[in-house]
């Protein structure tokens, strides 16, 4: 078997939420580059239009739909439109997410301490990162069930695998809950031949949290805690995304796979 066969997503229909930027954009690009039919759902209409144009110019047509994943009706109607446009659904990447502010160990502010938590930030982070995943999967699962097997991939985080006091409570709690959701759903859907897995990225240079990793001093500080001593570029998600979206992962379900330069293996 060749790599082209094992990792093929050709002709598969895929939805990627939060695909107008960063990790989701790289995933959407990888799927389109390899012959999948792709729909991106994102709340940022300007970035969606810009990236759709850029991808089309590169010979990679994608369909785009505007929705906030935290709004059940918006994501339901965008998913319905996407599934109609794609002619069904084989793969969904529930990827949209936001940061939840500072952690308790921040030296910049004490707003991340437990007793100072901003409940509006807490609610919004859980609404997007956790309930948004629930809404996305409920809106897309019936279409995936109509196929003979399918793939659900959720973007968790290494912050959902172990405590990290430099990251806000709402974010780590949301991602820990997402890890639990991935595993439980994987068990429920195993008899339906639908695999459910998670990506657990470490630090990637994206626009999350105000794009703070674009700042070289922030990036250098973060890189010092990574065994590979650097941050990841968004395109470095592509290999793992294709693995989990294709037959190459035919015996993987309920797994949440770190892609983190070694951080969870024992970095600081």
Residue 177 binds to ligand NAD (criterion: CB under 6 A)? no
Residue 157 binds to ligand NAD (criterion: CB under 6 A)? yes
Question: What residues are paired with 16 via a beta bridge?
Answer: 40, 93
By beta-carbon proximity to ligand NAD, the closer residue of 8 and 38 is 38
Residue 128 binds to ligand NAD (criterion: CB under 6 A)? yes
Part of the chain binding ligand NAD (CB under 6 A), chosen from 56-64, 93-101, 184-192, 241-249: 93-101
Residue 170 binds to ligand NAD (criterion: CB under 6 A)? no
Part of the chain binding ligand NAD (CB under 6 A), chosen from 38-46, 113-121, 184-192, 250-258: 38-46
Residue 155 binds to ligand NAD (criterion: CB under 6 A)? yes
Q: Which of 18, 103, 258, 261 binds ligand NAD (CB under 6 A)?
A: 18
Strand order in the sheet with 91-94: 63-66, 37-42, 13-17, 91-94, 150-155, 194-201, 256-259
By beta-carbon proximity to ligand NAD, the closer residue of 32 and 208 is 208
Report the distance separating Cα 198 and Cα 225, nearest Å. Answer: 23
Residue 86 binds to ligand NAD (criterion: CB under 6 A)? no
Distances (CA, A) of 224 to 79, 220, 263: 40, 6, 10
By beta-carbon proximity to ligand NAD, the closer residue of 37 and 135 is 135
- What H or E segment, with its residue span, contains residue 32? helix 22-33
Which residue, chain included where needed, has tokens 């004490």? 110
Report the distance separating Cα 117 and Cα 98, nearest Å. Answer: 16
Q: Quick one: tokens of 170? A: 């709402």
By beta-carbon proximity to ligand NAD, the closer residue of 8 and 89 is 89
Q: Least distance to ligand NAD from the beta carbon of 250, Å?
A: 25
Helix residue spans in 128-262 (DSSP H) = 132-145, 169-189, 208-211, 216-223, 238-245
Part of the chain binding ligand NAD (CB under 6 A), chosen from 57-65, 80-88, 96-104, 245-253: 96-104
Q: State which of positions 209-268 bind ligand NAD (CB under 6 A).
A: none
Q: Is 169 a catalytic residue?
A: no
Report the distance separating Cα 257 and Cα 228, nearest Å. Answer: 17
Report the distance separating Cα 158 and Cα 166, nearest Å. Answer: 13
Residue 201 binds to ligand NAD (criterion: CB under 6 A)? yes
Report the distance separating Cα 228 and Cα 217, nearest Å. Answer: 17
* Phi-psi region at 254: left, alpha or beta (left = phi > 0; alpha = psi -120 to 50): left
Q: Which among 102, 108, 171, 251 is annotated as catalytic?
A: 171
Residue 192 binds to ligand NAD (criterion: CB under 6 A)? no
Q: Which of 9, 22, 194, 263 binds ligand NAD (CB under 6 A)?
A: 22
Residue 203 binds to ligand NAD (criterion: CB under 6 A)? yes
By beta-carbon proximity to ligand NAD, the closer residue of 195 and 206 is 206
**What are the respective helix, strand and coil percentages of the chain, to the nearest 5?**
50, 15, 35
Q: Quick one: tokens of 29? A: 């690009």
State the residues that interact with ligand NAD by CB under 6 A.
17-18, 20-24, 42-44, 47, 68-70, 95-98, 128, 132, 155, 157, 201, 203-204, 206-208
């Amino acid at each position: 078997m060749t790599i082209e066969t094992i990792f093929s997503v050709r002709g598969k229909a895929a939805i990627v939420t939060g695909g107008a930027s960063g990790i989701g954009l790289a995933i959407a690009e990888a799927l389109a580059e390899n012959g999948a039919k792709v729909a991106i759902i994102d709340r940022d209409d300007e970035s969606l239009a810009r990236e759709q144009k850029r991808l089309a110019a590169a010979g990679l047509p994608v369909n785009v739909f505007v929705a906030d994943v935290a709004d059940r009706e918006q994501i339901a109607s965008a998913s319905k439109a996407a599934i109609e446009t794609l002619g069904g659904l084989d793969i969904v990447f529930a990827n949209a997410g936001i940061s939840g502010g500072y952690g308790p160990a921040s030296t910049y502010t004490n707003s991340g301490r437990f007793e100072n938590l901003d409940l509006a930030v807490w609610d919004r982070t859980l609404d997007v990162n956790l309930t948004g995943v629930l809404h996305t999967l409920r809106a897309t699962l019936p279409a995936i069930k109509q196929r003979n097997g399918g793939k659900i991939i959720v973007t968790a985080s290494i912050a959902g695998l172990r405590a990290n006091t430099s990251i806000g409570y709402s974010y780590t709690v949301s991602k820990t809950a997402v890890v639990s959701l991935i595993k439980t759903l994987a068990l429920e859907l195993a008899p339906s031949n639908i695999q459910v897995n998670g990506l657990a990225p470490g630090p990637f240079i994206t626009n999350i949290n105000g794009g703070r990793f674009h700042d070289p001093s922030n990036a250098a500080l973060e890189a010092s805690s990574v065994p590979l001593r650097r941050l990841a570029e968004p395109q470095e998600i592509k290999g793992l995304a294709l693995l989990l979206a294709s037959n190459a992962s035919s015996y993987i379900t309920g797994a949440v796979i770190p892609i983190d330069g070694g951080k969870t293996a024992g970095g600081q």
